[in-house]
């Protein structure tokens, strides 16, 4: 199981800095920097509350797909890292495009 740290404070999957989504998908096929990636699993807490948050049963992310072909950690569309950081430059993200994978490393 991969631990996904998340500092996107208004994501419905985020509880105390840990992602509790069933599946996290990182996109940005031809990214050259982390800012060219995004967490497509992001959902705004204001729109969706914690509808899909597994924090109550203690289940963290059990599937981390990586669609970033240029990342050294991409192993057949699965992230090879045990710990991943999802973050945002915005104080309050509204779209998945305002998030990024802080663990991205370009090949």
CB 63 within 8 A of CB 77: no
If phi over 0 gives left and psi between -120 and 50 gives alpha, with beta otherwise, what is residue 89?
Answer: alpha
Task: Tokens 């710990």: give the residue.
Answer: 83
User: Is residue 51 in a domain?
Assistant: yes
3-51 pLDDT, tens per residue?
899 999 999 888 899 998 888 999 999 999 999 999 999 999 887 765 5
Q: What is the pTM of this model?
A: 0.86
C-alpha to C-alpha distance for 17 and 88, rounded to whole angstroms:
12
How far apart, in whole angstroms, are the C-alpha atoms of residue 104 and residue 31?
A: 9
Query: Residue 86 sits in which domain range?
Result: 3-101
Considering the domain boundaries, does residue 85 fall inside one?
Answer: yes
**Number of domains the chain is built from:** 1
Is 56 a member of any domain?
yes
Strand partners, 25: 65
107 inside domain:
no
Q: Give pLDDT, residue 22.
A: 84
Express each pLDDT in 39-96 by its tens digit: 999 999 887 765 555 555 666 677 899 999 999 999 999 999 988 999 998 888 999 9
């Amino acid at each position: 199981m991969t631990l996904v740290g998340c500092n996107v404070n208004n994501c419905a999957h985020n509880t105390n800095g840990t992602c509790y989504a069933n599946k996290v998908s990182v996109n940005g096929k031809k990214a050259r920097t982390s800012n060219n990636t995004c967490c497509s699993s992001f959902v705004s807490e204001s729109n969706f509350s914690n509808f899909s948050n597994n924090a109550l049963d203690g289940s963290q992310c059990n599937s981390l797909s990586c669609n970033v072909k240029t990342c050294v950690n991409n192993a057949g569309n699965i992230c090879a890292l045990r710990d991943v950081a999802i973050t945002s430059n915005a104080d309050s993200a509204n779209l998945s495009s305002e998030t990024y994978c802080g663990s991205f490393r370009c090949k």
